[in-house]
Amino acid sequence: MADHGVTVQRFFVADTANDALEAAKRLKAAEIVLKAQILAGGRGKGVFSSGLKGGVHLTKDPSVVGQLAEQMIGYNLTTKQTPKDGVKVKKVMVAEALNISRETYFAILMDRACNGPVLVGSPEGGVDIEEVAAKSPELIFKEEIDIFEGVRDTQALKMAENLGFKGPLRQQAADQIKKLYNLFLKIDATQVEVNPFGETPEGQVVCFDAKINFDDNAEFRQKDIFAMDDKSENEPIENEAAQYDLKYIGLDGNIACFVNGAGLAMATCDIISLNGGKPANFLDLGGGVKEAQVYQAFKLLTADPKVEAILVNIFGGIVNCAIVANGITKACQELELKVPLVVRLEGTNVHEAHRILSESGLPITSASDLEDAARKAVASVTKK
C-alpha cells in the first residue's frame, strides 16, 4: 500500500528481538505498537507459550520493544483462531502507533451484479461491517465504477463526503480512495478492504488496517506478491499437494476421498458421514487432470497412516475418466496398494475407463453411484 502512495503507519518487520529493538529506535515515534505476525485473528487477546499475554503491545519506551519481542519470537501464540497448541511466531511488526479520532469503513470489491468494481463505504468503521449492513443499511454507500474510465473525481469526493470527512480531509480522503483504486487494479486484487479507514487528531487520513484478496489467475504477472505467500503454517502434506495442483485438507477420519471438483468433494465427505463413516481428507483434483496427478494424489493418500480405505468419485465433464482409470491402475501397481479401493466413475469416456479397471486384475470395487460407493467404502472399513 505504501508503494502505491497510500498512507499507512510507518513500520518495520523483525525476526529477532535485537532487530525489533533497532527498528523501534529507528522509527523515532512518540508511541510504538508491536504485533506478532501469524496467520490468525484475535492476536490482541492471545497468550504465548512464554507466558506473555497479548500478541499486540503498545509502549512509549523503545527499549521495552526488545524485551517484549524476546518473549514473542520463537514462542507459540494461541488465539481463538489457532490450533490449541498455537502457532510459532517467527516475525514481529514494529510500527508507529497513531491515535484515531474517527473510524470509517472503505472497500473496493469485484461485484458480479454490476460486472465490475464497486466502492463500498460506511461512516461506521472499526466494527463488523456485516452488523452495520443488517442494522443500519442506510449507512452503507456504494459507487459502481466503469472499469474503462476508473474512479472519477466526483465519485471519490462523494464517497469521502458519505464517509463523513469534512473540510480539507474530504479532498485528502478522496485522494486516498483514488490511490487505493489504482492499487486494486495494479495488483490484480479482487478485494481491498480498509477497516478502519480513519482520521488522526493531527488531520491525517490513514489506512490503519486492511485485508487484500488477490486473483489466483493473475499469479503469472504478480510473481512478487505470490512469492510472499507464507506456507510455513500449512500442513506439509497440503504444501506437497499444491505442487501438483491438488487441493488437500486433512480431516480426522479413515476413509480417503479422491474427487474432482470442490462441490463434489464436499458432497462425498457428507455422504460418507451419512453412511456411518468418517472422511480422512478433502482432496480436489480439479478440472485438467493428468495421469501423473492421479499418481501423486494416491501417493499422498496412502502415506497417511489413518487411511483404511480409499473412495474415488469422479464425474467426468472436462475430466476424461480413462485418464483417471490409467492413473489409478498405475498407482495401485507401483505403490502396492494395501487398503480397499472403491471407484465410482461417471461421464466422459466412462466405458473405456471401466474396461481399463476391469482388465487390470486389481482388487478394485466398482460402484454404480455415489450412495453405493459410500456404502461400499464404509463397509470395507467395518469388515477390517
Output the known binding site: 9, 42-44, 98, 195, 209, 260, 317-319
Report the alpha-carbon distance of residue 48 to residue 32 in Å, rounded: 20
Q: What is the largest CA-CA distance in the chain?
A: 80
Cell readout for 362 is 486389481
Report the alpha-carbon distance of residue 288 to residue 270 in Å, rounded: 25
3-state SS, one letter per residue, for 142-193: EEECECCCECCHHHHHHHHHHCCCCCHHHHHHHHHHHHHHHHHHHCCEEEEE
Report the alpha-carbon distance of residue 123 to residue 111 in Å, rounded: 21
| Catalytic residue IDs | 105, 193
Report the alpha-carbon distance of residue 108 to residue 1 in Å, rounded: 14
**Which residue, among 179, 173, 213, 175, has the nearest Cα to 196 in the 3D structure?**
173
Map grid coordinates 469526493 to a residue. 157
Cell readout for 8 is 499507512
Among positive and negative, which fits the CA dihedral 107, 108, 111, 113?
positive
Task: Give DSSP secondary structure letters for 73-120.
Answer: TTSEEE-TTS-TT-EE---EEEEE----SEEEEEEEEEEGGGTEEEEE
Phi-psi region of 80 (alpha: psi -120 to 50; beta: other; left: phi over 0): alpha
Q: Extract the annotated binding site for GTP.
A: 9, 42-44, 98
